[in-house]
């Protein structure tokens, strides 16, 4: 199924705004959306090296155990839907576009201009609330403590300690 060019154009324009460290926009939109995650356990993975691999391993293990899960990671290789995977498979273009419409409406009502990364993260949250999987695995982006993913109500946080050891050895 082809994607909707109008909503995808809106998403593309956000690539020009670059990176925005801070939680205000993302937290405002997430709060406005009033999404329910009561039946989903959220696993948040942060650090420098290996977090994408660890997220993929967790998601694969959950799939092998027949535990429904959504994985949010970045970047994508071939198509943007790869950033949000349901039980190991990228979500459909239709599901992606439906979430984009909902997100754009919220951003416009709040007069907020989210970045590309913030949008893809918030889409993962919208889709998770709609599907209600048992688990959501979030990979922190480049923003560290000011990364958009910090707005998620995590049940478990995993920090890659390699980055801590490397940094402390240089002091």
pLDDT in tens, 84-101: 999 999 999 999 999 999
Contact 98, 131 (CB under 8 A): no
CATH of the domain at 155: 3.40.1190.10
d(CA 99, CA 116): 14
For position 1, what pLDDT does the model report? 47
Domains in the chain, number? 1
Q: Give 166's pLDDT tier (boundaries 50, 70, 90).
A: very low
Residue 92 belongs to domain spanning: 5-169
d(CA 57, CA 156): 16
Residue range 110-118: mean pLDDT, rounded: 93
Nearest CA-CA partner of 119 in 153, 68, 81:
81
Q: Give 7's pLDDT tier (boundaries 50, 70, 90).
A: confident
Q: Give 20's pLDDT tier (boundaries 50, 70, 90).
A: low
């Amino acid at each position: 199924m082809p994607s909707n060019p109008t909503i995808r154009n809106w998403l593309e324009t956000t690539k020009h705004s670059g990176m925005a460290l801070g939680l205000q926009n993302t937290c405002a939109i997430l709060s406005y959306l009033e999404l329910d995650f009561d039946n989903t356990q959220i696993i948040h993975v942060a650090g420098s090296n290996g977090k994408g691999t660890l997220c993929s391993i967790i998601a694969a293990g959950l799939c092998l155990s027949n535990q429904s899960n959504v994985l949010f990671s970045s970047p994508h290789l071939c198509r943007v839907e790869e950033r949000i995977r349901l039980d190991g498979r990228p979500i459909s273009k239709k599901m992606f576009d439906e979430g984009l419409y909902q997100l754009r409406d919220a951003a416009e009502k709040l007069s907020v201009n989210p970045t590309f990364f913030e949008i893809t993260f918030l889409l993962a949250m919208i889709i998770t609330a709609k599907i209600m999987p048992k688990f959501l695995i979030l990979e922190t982006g480049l923003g560290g403590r000011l990364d958009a993913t910090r707005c998620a109500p995590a049940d478990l946080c995993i920090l890659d300690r390699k980055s801590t050891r490397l940094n402390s050895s240089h002091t």
